[in-house]
Structure 1
Amino acid sequence: MSEKAIASYTEAAKFAYGNSSSLHDIGGKAYELLTASRKAFAALLGGDPNGVYFTSGGSEGNILAIQSLLNSTPNKKHIIASSLEHASIDHYLSLLRAKGYDITFLKHDQNGNILMEHLEEEIREDTALVTIQHGNSEIGTIQNIKEIGLFLKKRKIYFHTDCVQTFGKLLIPVDEMNADAYTFSSHKIYGPKGVGAVYIHPAASWSPVIPGTTHEDGFRPGTVNVPGIFSFVTAANEFYNQREKHFNHFIKLKQHLISQLKTQLPTITIVNETKKEVLPNIVGVVTNSLEGQFVMLELNRKGFAVSTGSACQAGNSHPSKTLLSIGFDKDSAHQFIRISFGITNTISEVDELINAILSIVR
């Protein structure tokens, strides 16, 4: 967490600890801070404060956004999604399928972009909703949400996009991007974990997931985490004010890492190496020699935290579904690691990482 986010949380926890729904003065202080936070967050998005609903994070936000929109179209039972969605959406779509929904997953090109012609082909009269993430956490692919949203708006089909990875790295002007619902998370921009937000365009119709819920205008139950929300919005403002600086810093680290790895390990594959429309802080690497999980564990022993983009349960390591979706075979997908940068990382730390990878592979 950023120091400002920690300080703002501490301050709010001391002086705005009341239930923001209570009518007494202590609750009133919390309500005033919550209202100010909502307005400030909406301003970052260029949106309406009435469209902001605070949540416990990206996963809950994804589920609530999708189900709230589906509740307003009960007679339509078809959903379209990309094959690169976050696990929270994948798992929820599996649940919806068990409840009678028909789910279509879109095809992608070799860079991970959805094929618009495939989206057009799959639209049906009973299509209720399309969900496509803005930026992929494993290979950094950025989807053209504005173009997709315009296409769906003309057909009056609800559109949700998961912006957890892109929030703060890219501008997200909600009134220009043509989606109906957007999901955000606090800890991706140095705020506290367990806090997030959903923006639903005020013109979109939705119904509560749990009838009778009163908090957040019925969007989610439970006493609102006002200190966490204030800290989240503080971090978001701080990050946005330095967005261009952070973006350029990430690019510098990324270019250095890629050039050095390609020079010293020419057999490796950098996913989306030459593609411009990708997240600046993410580098996907296929070692073409070692299991990604082995490399991840060895790097961990050397003090580096990277991921494999895979799920490991009961000793069974599964290949990255993202890599499989863009044409890599299972062996290559098993040899994948995802490296990501933070704002405090340095070129010297990247050099240390490169040397660690070299020692493991050699």
Structure 2
Amino acid sequence: MVYFDYAAATPMSEQAVLTYQQIAKNYYGNASSLHDIGGQAKDILDQARQLIAVPFHADSREIIFTNGGTESNILAIDTLLRSSPISGKKHIISTKMEHSSLFFYLTHLNQLPDYEVTFLSPEKDGQISISALEQAIRSNTCLLSIQHVNSETGVIQPLEKIGQRIKGKDIAFHSDIVQSFGKIDITSLLPFVDCMSVSSHKIHGPKGAGAIYFSEKLALQPHPIQTNHEFGLRPGTVNVPAIAAFAAAANEIFTDHQAKIDHLHYIRNLFIDRLEQENIPLLPIITSHQAPTILGCVNPFVQGDYVMLEYNRRSIHLSTGTACSVNQQKIPASIQPFILNQEEGKRFNRFSFSHITTDEEVEQFIKVSKQIFSKMKGERRKYEQEVNR
């Protein structure tokens, strides 16, 4: 079995599994309970909060736990919109390339009478235009929400430049960094981005856990449903075992982090080189600003879902795009700058890698690719002969 869909979900690391089992068995109290068992669970939660805060160079109280990336995105936006100094201002700027959880939520807000959302389109290189962003800013702009790494193409948005453009404007800046947390260096973002969403199951932790980083400079207002969970910002009992396992996975992935990043670059480059060397008709989408974890490819023959199923039959697992939006039948805005037409967009597949991806897996993929595309070329020739009769 070869797995190239790490952008959708990762297997839990052994340490994360062990941590989950131990905490679920031994620290089963509600972290909000006042007795000793609850206190023990709260201690575990506090330790996890400290571990997640480390890559943000943050105080642990700047970390809010959630049930994953989608809730992190929506709760972050909700919290920022009701918090000063931006409360009362009603214009939001985002992009058409956001994860579906955020794009659809912002689309919903845009349909309400109180809010207006400007969605920026990608330029030819997949990034948004800084000048277009500056032109979109208004006197009542309260919030920017721009994804760091795109989940289809791996394109990295220039968050540092964007943050510089809004300094001193009382505009909050949120970013979905689900596809960059643990995968590339995020330290350069910290002076510029006020709020970031992350997810556990993208970094070899369990599903059902995530977090939001809220900068301490934000004056956050509590959740309208009065709650004593997560500093009053999130209702619902905290999933202590999943969060502890999330923290264990984060601690692992940020240990020898540069070596893991270097390996990701090596694997991605190897994958691209082997496609070219063996004349595999998968054409990579390549720019100068991409994360090493994600590679989008277009083939000249058939739709991406057929390609995916052919590989799946041979125990090689990849995708046709972001798992949360694969059934929408619409060509994602993120890949439109890189394709000639909608038909070509339907022939898109995404390959995504982990620091545990091996050379042997790449070679197994290449071997199977030769078989698959040899078959497809034969079918294509037969079809063209029939058409031309």
Q: Same fold (TM over 0.5)?
A: yes
Cα pair distance change 1:66/1:327, threshold 3 Å: farther
Aligned residue number for residue 20 of structure 1: 31
> RMSD of the alignment, in Å?
1.8
* CA offsets 1:127-185 (integer angstroms, 9 cap, x no match): 11111111111111112212211222221211100110001112323873411110011
Pair 298,209 (structure 1): closer, same or farther in 2 beyond 3 Å: farther
% same residue? 39
Equivalent residue for 1:218?
232
Contact 2:74–2:101 (Cα < 8 Å) also in 1? yes
TM-score, length-normalised on structure 2? Answer: 0.87
Q: Superposition pairs for residues 15-94 of structure 1, below 5 Å?
A: 15-72=26-83, 73-94=86-107
Matched, 1:138 2:152: yes
- Find the aligned partners of 2:102 and 2:79 in 1 and give their Cα distance: 14
Residue 285 of structure 2, aligned match among 268, 271, 274: 271
* 2:316 match: secondary structure: coil
Structure 2 counterparts to residues 176-255 of structure 1, below 5 A: 176-255=190-269
Aligned partner of 2:358 in structure 1 is: 346
Please tell me whether the aligned partners of residues 17 and 30 of structure 1 are also in contact (alpha carbons under 8 angstroms).
Answer: yes
What secondary structure, in the 3-state scheme, does the structure 1 residue paired with 2:331 have? Answer: coil
Q: Do the aligned partners of residues 312 and 192 (structure 1) sit closer, same or farther apart at CA in structure 2, a change above 3 Å counting?
A: closer
Q: Deviations over 1:163-213 (max 9, x none)?
A: 100011123238734111100111111111110100000111233443312
What is the aligned partner in structure 2 of residue 108 from structure 1? 122
Whole-Å separation in 2 of the counterparts to 1:136 and 1:175 = 16
Unaligned ranges ≥5, structure 1: none
- Return the letter of the residue paired with 1:78: H
2:282 & 2:109 partners in 1: Cα distance? 39
Q: Which moved more, 1:260-269 or 1:138-147?
A: 260-269
Q: Which has the higher contact order (CA 8 A, sep 6+)?
A: 2
How far does residue 11 in structure 1 lie from its aligned partner after superposition? 1.4
Q: Shift of residue 16 of structure 1?
A: 1.6
Instruction: Select which of 316, 323, 334 maps to 2:335.
Output: 323
Partner in structure 1 of residue 313 of structure 2: 301
The alpha carbon displacement at 1:268 in A equals 4.1
- Deviation, 1:320, is 2.8
Match of 1:288 in 2: 300
1:107 and 1:118 in contact (8 A); partners too: no
Letter in 1 for 2:198: F
- Give unmatched runs, 5+ long, in structure 2: 1-11, 375-389
Question: 2:34 and 2:56 mapped to 1: Cα distance?
Answer: 30
The letter for the 1-side match of 2:306 is F
- TM-score after normalising by structure 1: 0.94
**Does structure 1 retain, via aligned residues, the 8 Å contact 2:97–2:121?**
no
CA distance in 1, matches of 2:308, 2:17: 30
Partners of 2:196 and 2:243 lie apart in 1 by 17
2:95 touches 2:121 (CA, 8 Å); kept in 1? yes
Q: CA deviation at 1:343?
A: 2.8
Q: Deviation per CA, 1:72-104: give whole Å up to 9, x if none.
A: 244222111122110100110121112232111
User: d(CA) in 1 for partners of 2:265 and 2:275?
Assistant: 15
Does structure 1 residue 121 correspond to structure 2 residue 132? Answer: no
Deviations 1:269-305 (A, max 9, x none): 2112xx3431112111011222111101111111111
Q: Distance in 1 between matches of 2:238 and 2:266?
A: 39
From the CA coordinates, give the structure whose radius of gyration is larger: 2
Q: Distance in 2 between matches of 1:71 and 1:288?
A: 48
| Whole-angstrom CA distance in 1 between matches of 2:260 and 2:189 | 25
Query: Residues of 2 paired with 1:52 and 1:277: CA distance?
Result: 28
Aligned equivalents of 1:120, 1:179: Cα separation in 2:
17
Partners of 1:47 and 1:172 lie apart in 2 by 13
Residue type at the aligned position of 1:53? I
SS in 2 for 1:159: strand
For 1:346 and 1:171, the matched residues in 2 are separated by 22
**TM-superposed deviation, 1:338:** 0.3
Q: CA offset at residue 109 of structure 1?
A: 2.2
